[in-house]
Amino acid sequence: MLGVDVEGVKRSATRPGFVPIAKRWVVEQVSGALMLHRRLTREYESRPESSVSRTLWPRPPTSCAG
């Protein structure tokens, strides 16, 4: 529906402790923007099309260029 690919990442056995995952901050940034606009706390829209548009809405213009 959204055209999003999800990839699971396993821990490295060679590097103990905390190892940052590449591009994880992008996911956190989007989640933070959605929380800022209060769209993750409740489902306000009744139609799925509205939910999709509200998910894309708070992104900065550089993320929408494509």
Is the pTM above the cut of 0.95? no
Confidence of residue 31 (pLDDT cuts 50, 70, 90): confident
Tokens 């990442």, residue located: 9
Q: How many Å apart are CA 57 and CA 51, to the nearest integer?
A: 10
The answer to whether 63 and 56 have CB atoms below 8 angstroms apart is no
> Looking at residue 22, what DSSP letter applies?
T
Query: How would you label 8-28 residue by residue, b for 16+ Cβ within 10 Å and e otherwise?
Result: eeeeeeeeeeeeeeeeeeeee
pLDDT at residue 38, rounded to an integer: 65
